[in-house]
Structure 1
Amino acid sequence: MKNLGKIIFFVIILVFPLFIFSSSLLQAARKTSDSSDTIKLTFWNFWDPKFILPVIERFEKENPGVKIINEQVSWSNGLDKIVISMANNMAPDICEMGSTWMGKFMSEGALLDITDKVSDLKDEYLMWAPAQMNGRYYGMPWLAGTRVMFYNRELFAQAGLDPDKPPLTWKDFLDAARLIHNPKKGIYGFGMNAGEGHILYKKFMPFVWGNGGKILDENDNFVFDSQETRETLDFYLKLKEYSYCEKQDLLDEAFKRGKLGLAISGSWNFARYPKDAPNLDFGVSLMPKPAEDKGFSTSFLGGEILVLFKTCKNPDVAAKFIRYIVKMENTMPITKEAWVSFPAHLDAYKDSAFTKDKRLSVFTEQMKTAIHPPIHNLWIDLEKIINTAVEKAMYNEPIDSVFKEANEEFEKISGKKNESKQSSSFLIVILSALGVGIIINAILLAFILYEVKKNKSGPIGPIERAQRYILFLAPWFITFFIFWLYPLLFSVVLSFCEYDVFHPAVFSFSGFKNYMALVEDEVFIQSFFNTLIFVVGTTPVTTALGLALALMINSLKSKSDIFRSVFFLPSIISIVVTATIFKSFYSPVGLLNRFLALFGIQGYGWLVDKSFALPAIMIMDIWAYAGYYMVLYLAALTAVPKSLYDAAEIDGANEWEQFRYITLPQIKYMTVFVMTINTIRSWQVFPEVFTLTSGGPVGSTNTLVHHLYELAFRYHKMGYASAISLVLLLLVFLFSFIQMKILSGKKR
């Protein structure tokens, strides 16, 4: 006991200074920050710094003692980053928000009420609705945008249509798409979004709104299933027959290359087409309405709102900066450079940039009737419901079934919203995970002490030996506990809770509710089988191909370095870059389909066809990773003694027998290693899916990691996502264990 006490004392002496040092640094940082007279505010936005920094410099010059720290975030993960920063009490002072996100953040009380700071500007700016709740303003409109109909005048003329008369009604639209559509020549009537989350509803809902349909009524009842919506869906499915179905960036690319007759797109094309396709003859028009005597032309209205989080260090100065940056003279340079969005300031539309090109005036005209989606706490979930319903209908699921599932899904999410939750202090969660972590580390420490005590030989005593062991293992122990063990235990605790990232100080214990919900979650079940297919389809092939390439290169007498470099190259390229390349390669007008066309084979939209999307990703994955496993096998092959092959050759063994009885047994443990890490990696497939398909079309490529990522960071269901992550951990462990047992065989 006396010796054990000395060791424990030594551990405390070792670790305690780390906490003292870190605390001192934090206190020093706070004192430095407090002693400074400079007011520092962090500004998160989605724009290239070249647009924002000049405005910040002018503001700082006019306001000495103020420092605005600019930080650019991306649209692909901006919402995720904002939510995570808020949950960790590290939200920026000033933030640009997508207008459709505002309902959630306002209703959860995450934003400052700035009514008294901006209400005097109400008559000078448009799009205040997304920034308003219960008569109060929680943001300032900055930029606004809509979408209109683009049409190729040359293709109109070739189809016998008048280029000066774009379609005004649904019938005109359908007739024009039908006349232009000629897929054998690579010409398509209309560009329709498919296999892409969070975009499709922006193209579909304007037709519903124009036909008198709604998503929610005045009492927040879900009224998406209506006669107006069904009429719209019927029209949209007819339009699909003459459409090129792809993602937005590829649709814009196809229109730019003169392959699309009609497309719904945004003003950003006015910055791209003059540079990339100066000879493209195109026009723009208002969105078609249902009929000459029915409905009206409308489109999706969205934009950017500037907000202050409740943790803002100086709301008065932050509000002053917001009022400054939204001025027309500070916003117009952004518009003129990128043409992605228009200023929310009404006087901006008197600028000559909008009057000299009549096509741009169509956007300003469309904005007068454009509709913003409902400002609702559950809008992000509603968006998913609508997107899923329309996509399922596009992929030939029965219409009645589609609307029934949409209604059931809304009832499910609205029911969860109204559930009463018993909240407890979040400190309990932290202390629980911390306590279990300390216990596990104590067990590891006890194991070390036991091993030290058992081994009494050596020039130094067991106490000094234990102290040295602990000293050298301390960095690993601390890293292991902070960055691996604690997050794992924290995730375990969260899996038994309903954790709201908007209110991180409280949580609701739910027992095994999250795990029980997995059994009834069709999306989880689908993502599990998609992942299983991916693992079974890629792991053996990648491993076998890696071995085959290694054998081939190992047998070469010259230039093996060149081939090794060529085959290894794909594995060192970022998988996101690889996926982006393959995204174009797989498109209907991509290199693969062009190659097939040489042999008279009609191409496909590989990533928007639910039968081919997952196999397409699997093929890309095999191409990307086979070279990495080839290098591992090459290392194992070079370690096989050449004398074994010489002896086998003397005994008359042929090449197959040498491979079977010498090579395979000698590289057995490398095969176990390769299969294990390959299986683990395949179960965790994510960036490929995120970049290529975002889980679509109709969930056909949704994997476990992508599903839990969406649940956690887009729909903020941290507890449920934690439960899925632990199930995934158990699956990976189980498959790896079985695999190692089978491949390792019996011990000799």
Structure 2
Amino acid sequence: MDRRRFLGMAATGVASAAGMSALSGCGSGPGSGDVTLKLVAADYGTPGADNSSKIYWQKLADTFTRKNPEISVDVTVYSWNDIGKKLGDMVDSGDPPDIAQVDSYASWAAEGKLYKVNELLPIPDQAEFLVSLAEAGEVQRVQYGLPFVTSTRVLMYNKDLFAKAGLDPDKPPESWEALKSAARRLKQAGVQIPYGLPLGPEEAQGEALMWCLGNGGSYVDSVGNYTINSPENIETMEWLRDNLVVPGYTEPAPQRVDRQKLFEAFSAGKVGVLNGHPTLVQQADKKGLSYGTGKLPGRDGPADGTLGVGDWMMAFKKRDHREACGKFLSFVYEEKNHYAFAARYGLLPVTTSASERMRKDKKHKKLWPFLDQLAAAEFYPVGKVSWTGTNAALKKSVGKAAMKGGDPKAVLTALQRRAEAAEKAES
């Protein structure tokens, strides 16, 4: 897998005509007749709010069935905290859903449990996916994962707190030293959390990777070998520890701080600067916060790239509903349906037509900086079967590298050895 995948807004063909032979006929066979598809999806709604993804999926399923009365869709939605285990248990017990929407797919693809994308969608539908996201859905150069929505990260900062600290509210810090200087000024001005560093188990792997990218590091090299304990990554975590954590510019124990906690604190006006996700834009706007955005700071200037994260849809073979799965997935990715979901939750679309629509929609102007970042975004190596376990280990442990008294070399080397062992076991 390429270390950095450059996304083009004009899609290219990702399947051959020969690969579509399985879709050439209808009538008898899997998918024909009365079918009930089981769909399991993740909830993007805010806990306690009336914006559960169940509402979107149920409405979409009902509309689809009215147009395709021979196919009904049974919708189940789980929180992100639960869906991984719930879906894993279903698959392990031999009763997977027909279609699932979650954050990984590679292990099931490697076990032969998923349909290939070219067994599900016609070529025009496949060609709609942004190129690098389609490639990121591949295992050994065969696409199994359908990108669902994506996001990138930008630096976000509180303009009022910047002004209070005597900083230019229209000039975000562009280098690590500039960020350190801003954090020091913010602390002196009494800001509760000058820099929000979420290295707790919710998404520590993402925050750490964003910082490593700013120093020329990554989790894998250009041919997909793990580089978790590279000199660049060790240096990055040492800098974080010594220049932000130890001086007290972050919360005292960032290895225990989750992203959502800091997002809520930022929206409440308690955080000066952090790396932001598109959903934070919605949260901050609801609170009437005055904020600015910028590129992620790098060691010597703005980082060349940023983190890109995608979630995935997949279709399981077990219930033999290939044709019905394909029809429903084609409906899911119709421009109006796909755009409706992305726009509802402030996320980025994964198809060319929906992305172009968002670019023209001034209601989503605040998401344009995130769209701009797609061209230089680096995605997790989700096509590696070993990534699931490696990702879990990073979430649990990588934050310890930057804590007070932490040993970045020891922490990252332990993670590297675990990743290499998992890779070897899968080969």
Amino acid at match of 1:308: A
Question: Is the CA contact (8 Å cut-off) linking 1:91 and 1:309 kept in structure 2?
Answer: yes
Give the superposition deviation at 1:312. Answer: 3.4
In the TM superposition, residue 109 of structure 1 has moved relative to its aligned partner by 2.1
Distance in 2 of aligned mates of 1:159 and 1:337? 35
* Corresponding residue number in structure 1 for 2:180: 174
Aligned-CA RMSD value: 2.5
Residue type matched to 1:318 in 2?
Answer: C
| 2:232 corresponding residue in structure 1 | 228
Sort the Cα spacing of 1:67 and 1:284 in 2 relative to 1 into closer, same or farther, 3 A: same
The structure 2 residue matched to 1:403, chosen from 388, 391, 412, is 412
Measure, in 2, the Cα distance between the counterparts of 1:308 and 1:334.
19
1:140 matched to 2:149? The reply is: no
Q: Does 1:376 align with 2:384?
A: yes
Q: Whose RCO is larger (CA < 8 A, sep 6+)?
A: 2
Q: Cα offset for 1:186?
A: 5.0
Structure (1 or 2) with the larger CA radius of gyration: 1
Q: Is the 8 A contact 2:386 2:419 kept in 1?
A: no
In the alignment, is the contact (CA less than 8 A) between 1:112 and 1:309 conserved in 2? Answer: yes
Which residue number in structure 2 is paired with residue 288 of structure 1?
A: 297
Aligned to 1:257: 268
Kept in 1, the 8 Å contact 2:198–2:259? The answer is yes
Match of residue 78 from structure 1: 83
Shift of 1:254: 1.0
Is this contact kept in 2: 1:288–1:297, CA < 8 A?
no
More strand by percentage = 2
Consecutive unaligned residues of structure 1, counting only runs of 5 or more, are 1-33, 419-748
| Contact 1:102-1:130 at 8 Å conserved across structures | no
Residue 303 in structure 1 maps to residue 310 in structure 2: yes
SS in structure 2 opposite 1:243?
coil
Distance change >3 Å, CA 153–CA 222, structure 1 → 2: same
Q: Deviations over 1:283-340 (max 9, x none)?
A: 1222223324xx833222122221111213321111111011122201222233322x
Stretches of 4+ moved more than 6 A in 1? Answer: none
What is the CA–CA distance in structure 1 between the aligned matches of 2:191 and 2:171, rounded to whole Å?
Answer: 24
Look up the match of 2:348. 342
Specify the alignment match of 1:634 in structure 2: none
SS in 2 for 1:151: strand
- Tell me, in whole angstroms, the C-alpha distance in 2 between the residues paired with 1:96 and 1:405: 31
1:112 deviation in Å? 1.3
Cα-to-partner distance string for 1:656-703 (whole Å, 9 max, x where unaligned): xxxxxxxxxxxxxxxxxxxxxxxxxxxxxxxxxxxxxxxxxxxxxxxx
Q: 2:229 is paired with a residue of what secondary structure?
A: coil
2:282 is the counterpart of 1:271: yes
Q: CA deviation at 1:151?
A: 0.5
Residue 355 of structure 1 contacts residue 361 of structure 1 at CA under 8 Å; is this kept in 2?
A: no
Paired with 1:265 and 1:122, the residues of 2 have a C-alpha distance of 30
Tell me if 1:322 matches 2:318. Answer: no
Alignment of 1:474-553 (within 5 A): none
2:35 maps to 1:39: yes
2:338 is matched with 331
**Paired position in structure 1 for 2:105:** 102
- What's the CA shift for 1:152? 0.2
Shift in Å at residue 265 of structure 1?
A: 2.3
Q: How many residues align?
A: 375
Secondary structure of the structure 1 residue equivalent to 2:377? coil
Secondary structure at 1:51 match in 2: helix
Query: What does residue 370 of structure 2 align with?
Result: 363
The change in CA–CA distance for 1:411 and 1:330 in structure 2 (over 3 A counts) is closer
1:413 partnered with 2:422? yes
What is the match of residue 65 of structure 1?
A: 70
Give 1:371 shift.
0.8
- Structure 1 counterpart of 2:306, which letter? S
Deviation for aligned residue 1:78: 0.7
Length-normalised TM-score, structure 2: 0.81
Match of 1:112 among 110, 115, 120: 115
C-alpha displacement of 1:227: 2.1
Shift of 1:40: 1.0
Determine the structure 1 residue equivalent to 2:201: 197
CA distance in 2, matches of 1:393, 1:62: 54
Q: Which residue of 156, 161, 172 corresponds with 1:155?
A: 161
Give the structure 2 partner of residue 438 of structure 1.
none
| Unaligned ranges ≥5, structure 2 | 1-29, 44-52
Q: In 2, distance between residues paired with 1:217 and 1:271?
A: 34
* Cα pair 2:234 2:409 within 8 Å, conserved: no
- The corresponding residue for 1:93 is 98
Alpha-carbon distance between aligned partners in 1 of 2:170 and 2:58, rounded to the nearest angstrom: 42
- The whole-number CA distance in structure 2 between the counterparts of 1:111 and 1:384 is 22
TM-aligned CA deviation for residue 410 of structure 1: 3.4
Q: Percent identity?
A: 23
What is the letter of the counterpart of residue 169 of structure 1? S
Asked if the contact 1:328–1:343 (Cα under 8 Å) also holds between the matched residues in 2, the reply is no
Residues 37 and 216 from structure 1, CA distance in 2 versus in 1: closer, same or farther, beyond 3 angstroms?
A: closer
* 1:83 aligned partner, one-letter code: G
2:394 to 386, 389, 403: 386
SS at match of 1:329: helix
Q: Which residue of 2 aligns with 1:687?
A: none
